[in-house]
Amino acid sequence: MKNLSFTLLGFVAAGLVALPRPAHACGGTFCDAAGTTMSMPVDQTGETIFFVVENGEVEAHIQIEYDPTTDAAQFAWIVPVLATPSFEVGSQQLFVNLANGTVPSYGWIGEDEDCSFDDGGFGGGFESCEGTGGDGASPGSSAGGGDDGGTTGGGTEVVLQDTVGAFDAVVLQSTSSDELLTWLADNAYYADPAAAPILQQYIDEGAQFAAFRLTQGAEVGEIHPVVVRYAGDEPCIPIRLTRIAARDDMDIRAFFLGDARVVSTNYKQVELNPVKLDWIGLGANYKDVVTMAVDSPMADGHGFVTEYAATSSVVARDGLFSASWDATAFAAIDSTMVVTRLQEQGLVGACVPDTCEFAHPLVRGLLLSWLPPPEGVAEGEFWGDLAGHAADIDADAWDASELSAALQERVIAPGAHAVELLDTHPMLTRLYTTISPHEMTEDPLFHTNDELPQVGASRIATFFASCSGDTQMRGIGIAPAVETQGTAVWPDIFPAEMPWALRIETVPITGAPLVLVDNTTAIEELVQQWNQMAAQLGPQVACGDDGSASNGGASGDGSGTSGQLENGAGCGCGSERGKLGHVGLGLLVLAALRRRGSPRTRRPAGGEPERRR
């Protein structure tokens, strides 16, 4: 009998749209502290960025997550760029679909040994497992009106000025970080003075700076992804500037569309030790394992895990674009008909008193800007009956032509471009890491390698239960199965000795990876030692006189007592179905996971790297 159980490590569309999140983006995100003269950084808890490289250009889609309580007038962010860029509005729904289509999953199929015993005999294993996973987290039209700017005096030059959807954008070239910060402050592009040394590093390297702020009258609900396009063939995440507002173990997830798998040029490729993952808990400790693995010696905090590298067809087109979407239908529309027309085009669903259903994450922001509900009236009540609230419509906010243009620029054109990209590029790569501010010393660069194997998102093992009550997790990615002693707790096997990373490699542009660390043999030997001790102890569930289960005790190093019969043999507890059932008894004391912020011991490299076969 087999039962499939798994969990997704990441976020789903509903969660991404509904939950308020701290503001962040690639580069430095800042907000001004109201009532003070000093700007304060917004804490950054993660970055998601999507790259396409083709025809000598890098197209970087940057997702901007925000706190809905942020004062729009105080929001701004800065991105170092390698060449003078152009800007477009990106598709928010594309990030949702990228994430949902490639989110890594860890799970197992339950398999019971065939036991031909009468009632009261030995049972099988767990039928299935239900659980929740950890957070993976845990996924356009050219903006018009730009000009070439000009010299502003001092050491800062305005190279380009533009309006991109809800943002004012400017590209600056400077010779001094102090003068750059002065220009930004004078022009309401808020930045943290603590960024001066990092900005100067970029200046010395010849970088320009793209700065964004919400345009006059725009609200944070209108914030959308931005596409930064520049000449080049090497994607880069400017992580050094991020550290001004970053938190420890910040998530970074990067997507790449192309014709081949993408890896980091200057960060290590890290493969997780599957024994460290909580398979019974469906990978609930995934982020912790990634954090510790990329902190391993030879990676030293600079590494990425490949979560997915295969066909781009897994990304749904749902919600990206529809032929029924037509911005021209709103160019001269009566304000009372807007929601009705949006519903006809499939962009808005039913409206209930509190709110309406939206098929695209940016439509609500457009309505808030051009048809804001009056104070004291709920969104759903107002938008669901605009004709009945005609007297409450804000004439100063309403502009049909502006709404039409914004719908085209922020929803329809980016969606059509997203579909075009997915249809054009067959390979999608998803990389993930966690990183702390003190490790943000080098910007990750990336390249393709068409000789690397594909990586699927789903990892499914087999949880085998014997008639004696023994249980094993098989097929997790190493040769031996892992004995779990009939318990519902994943064992923390020899925590002081067990490595967090299976392999650490560097990957050239062509050819096989260069193996820096391969812990396969050491991991398998430790598992075999554990299995031998577990076999001696027997299953950790004992049978009482009435056939009920009780647990013994075992420690993380294999010592302690077990739930055994007097003759030392393990047992399973009978039931009418002849199954062990869901005992759910945790027997192992899990060692506390060491976080990156604590000091860590580094081993010397110890020899030349070998080329992985």
| 477 assigned to some structural domain | no
Q: What is the DSSP string of 47-87?
A: EEEEEEEETTEEEEEE--B--TTS-GGGEEEEEEESS--EE
What sections of 285-412 are H helices per DSSP? 286-294, 338-344, 363-370, 379-383, 400-407
Check residue 47 and give its pLDDT. 82
Tokens 């808890």 sit on residue: 45
| 129 assigned to some structural domain | no
Check residue 223 and give its pLDDT. 86
- Residue 471 CB neighbours (<10 A): 30
Check residue 114 and give its pLDDT. 86
Check residue 523 and give its pLDDT. 99
Name the residue range of residue 411's domain.
327-424
Compute CA 558 distance to the chain's CA centroid, rounded to the nearest angstrom. 36
Q: 358 near 347, Cβ under 8 Å?
A: yes
Compute CA 206 distance to the chain's CA centroid, rounded to the nearest angstrom. 31
d(CA 100, CA 442): 29
Residues of the chain where predicted confidence (pLDDT) is lower than 50: 1-26, 29-44, 118-149, 151, 153, 542-613
d(CA 22, CA 29): 10
Structure tokens at 333: 């529309």
| 370 assigned to some structural domain | yes
**Of the candidates 328, 381, 329, which has an alpha carbon nearest to the alpha carbon of residue 352?**
381
Strand partners of residue 261:
449
| 407 assigned to some structural domain | yes
CA distances from 360 to 155, 219, 221, 226, 593 (A): 43, 17, 13, 16, 39
User: Which positions ≥6 away from 599 have C-beta within 8 Å?
Assistant: none
Name the domain count of the chain. Answer: 1
| 381 assigned to some structural domain | yes
Tokens 């010779």 sit on residue: 175
| 584 assigned to some structural domain | no
d(CA 273, CA 185): 47
Check residue 72 and give its pLDDT. 62
What secondary structure, in 3-state letters, does 445-498 show? Answer: EEEEECCCCCECCEEEEEEEECCCCCEEEECCCCCCCEECCCCCCCCCCCCCCC
Backbone region of residue 16 per phi and psi (left: phi > 0; alpha: psi in -120 to 50; beta: other values): alpha
| 289 assigned to some structural domain | no
Please give the radius of gyration of the chain, using alpha carbons only, rounded to the nearest integer: 28
**Of the candidates 271, 406, 305, which has an alpha carbon nearest to the alpha carbon of residue 102?**
305
| 596 assigned to some structural domain | no
Structure tokens at 381: 């009540």
Check residue 41 and give its pLDDT. 30
